[in-house]
Amino acid sequence: MTIQEKQDEIIDEFGMLEGDMEMSINYLMELGERLDTYPEHLRDEDHIVKGCQSKVWLNAELKENTVEFQADSNTAITKGLVSLLIRVMSGQKPDDILNQVIYFPSRIGMSRFIGTQRSNGFSAMIKQMKMYALALNSKIKA
């Protein structure tokens, strides 16, 4: 699936929750729990993306010319949100990650879950993913 198709899939899923805040949080927490276990040795300052109230650890590796992301968070809701980004971005080519617009957060009303200030943390995470893609892209082309 392309980045766009994955985003549309997420928008459809959240559409079924009909804007119910607690159901949406519950769903996010479930998604977070399904995330692959994050490697302990990568839980360090180099991999941290700091938000206002939660920490996120993010790593990326190249796998057959696509980027595999791994992530974790110390809060369950943020972990769920991160899992959505991983679902969209992981397994994609670096060029696609760099060029595609991420539009699903606003379409699922994500600001309600994370607040305006923490949206900045989420933007920082998308930026960090793109930075990884950029670095790995130059590795492919080198």
Partner 1 sequence: MSSFATTQLDIEKIRKQFPVLHQDVNGKQLIYFDNAATSQTPDVVINALSDYYSLDNANIHRGIHALAERSTAAYEESRKKVASFINADEPEEVIFTKGTTESINLVATAYGRKFLEAGDEVLISGMEHHSNIVPWQILCEQTGAKLKVTPVEDNGDLNMEAFRGLLSERTRIVSIVFISNTLGTINPIKEIATAAHNAGAKILVDAAQAAPHTKIDVRDLNCDFLAFSAHKMYGPTGTGVLYGKRALLEKMDPYQGGGEMIKEVSFEKTTYGEIPHKFEAGTPNIGDVIAFGTAIEFVEGIGHDMLKQHEDDLLAHANSTLRDIDGFTPIGTSNQKASVISFNIDGIHPFDLGMLLDARGIAVRTGHHCTQPLMDRFKIEGTARASFAVYNTISEIDDFVTALKDIVSKYRK
Which lies closer to partner 1 via its Cβ, residue 4 or residue 26? 26
Which lies closer to partner 1 via its Cβ, residue 21 or residue 131? 21
**CA angle, 8 then 66 then 60, to 5°:** 95
Which lies closer to partner 1 via its Cβ, residue 65 or residue 111? 111
Closest CA to 59 of 29, 84, 82: 82
In this structure, which amino acid lies at residue 99?
Answer: N
> For binding to partner 1 (CB under 8 A), which residues are involved?
21-22, 25-26, 29, 52-54, 74-78, 113
Which residues have C-beta within 8 Å of that of residue 30, sequence separation ≥ 6?
80
What six digits make up the tokens of 52?
A: 């206002």
> Assign residue 37 a region: left if phi > 0, alpha if psi is -120 to 50, beta otherwise?
beta
Alpha carbon distance 27, 24 (integer Å) = 5
* Residue 138 CB, nearest approach to partner 1 (Å): 36
Which lies closer to partner 1 via its Cβ, residue 18 or residue 64? 18
